[in-house]
Amino acid sequence: MRKKIVAGNWKMNKSAAEARELVAAINAELGDCECPVEVVVCPPFTAIESAGTALAGSRIALGAQNMSERSAGAFTGEVSASMLTSLGVKYVILGHSERRTLYGETDAIVNAKVRAAINAGLNPIVCVGETLQERETGAMDDVVTRQVQQSLAGVTGDELKAGKVVVAYEPVWAIGTGKTASKEQAQEMHALVRRVLAEMTSGIAAAAVRIQYGGSMKPENAAELLAMPDIDGGLIGGAALQADSFVAIIKAGC
């Protein structure tokens, strides 16, 4: 049985002080809710430490939105995996479509980051998903298959069984647009991701992997998406910036 995982990707939002306030508000809104959903917040780098202080002792885990594939050295502006673990970070989003399209991250780069994250003890949340044009031309299965195969190349069945990797299916056309994939469209793509993982490793290993849906997930559509057999959580953008909507999505997964 896979434990659901709902993560907030705050993108380039929230100062250190605002992060502290949002984490406190999420905790207050969660109250004594003990539903078996793992909760993660992924603030920008500059707010990780203050968010980490605010969530200490709570059920919320800390994530980051990106990291370097390299371990240390003359790489101006980059942040390493061990810098993140030193702040208590447990998860790191890798290969988000905004990184792929705006910053030129290829599957090979994402793959190097995945390896560096796992080696450092971080759990990557690896994003895949097709653009609108790729969906309209029927290329989505090929695109997502290639992204999974190449971004996760070399990841072993044992690593998957140990829960070291989360995959997020985020159709690019649904991100920040208010358009959500229907529960059937999302389920189809999640099942595809799981089939590809099974071919790369084994059915048992693939069955252990949690696959999140991302793209305009909100309180109104979360319950029906999270009820689908291969949808194991959500990666939430806009709706994660307010405690009430983020917690409503978490509770929809209970």
Which residues of this protein are in contact with ligand 13P, per CB under 6 A?
9, 96, 170, 175-176, 214-217, 235-239
Residue nearest ligand 13P, CB atom distance? 237
Q: Which is nearer to ligand 13P, 198 or 228 (CB)?
A: 228
Cα–Cα distance measured from residue 250 to residue 8, given in angstroms and rounded to the nearest whole number: 10
Q: How far is the CB of 252 from ligand 13P (least distance, A)?
A: 14
Structure tokens at 49: 């430490």
Q: What distances in angstroms separate CA 126 from CA 12, 18, 170, one per listed residue?
A: 19, 27, 10
Q: How far is the CB of 223 from ligand 13P (least distance, A)?
A: 16
Structure tokens at 132: 């609108």
Q: Which is nearer to ligand 13P, 88 or 219 (CB)?
A: 219
Phi and psi (nearest 5°) for 137?
-95, 5
Q: How far is the CB of 203 from ligand 13P (least distance, A)?
A: 28
Q: Which is nearer to ligand 13P, 205 or 226 (CB)?
A: 226
Q: Which is nearer to ligand 13P, 215 or 233 (CB)?
A: 215
Cα–Cα distance measured from residue 14 to residue 5, given in angstroms and rounded to the nearest whole number: 22
Q: How far is the CB of 216 from ligand 13P (least distance, A)?
A: 4
Residues with catalytic function: 96, 170
Q: What distances in angstroms separate CA 23 from CA 40, 53, 200, 217, one per listed residue?
A: 10, 9, 38, 20
Q: How far is the CB of 149 from ligand 13P (least distance, A)?
A: 21
Q: Which is nearer to ligand 13P, 7 or 84 (CB)?
A: 7
For the chain, where are the alpha helices, taking DSSP H only?
Answer: 16-30, 45-55, 81-85, 97-102, 107-119, 132-136, 140-151, 157-161, 183-200, 203-207, 219-226, 243-252
Cα–Cα distance measured from residue 230 to residue 152, given in angstroms and rounded to the nearest whole number: 19
Cα–Cα distance measured from residue 78 to residue 136, given in angstroms and rounded to the nearest whole number: 36
41 beta partners = 8, 62
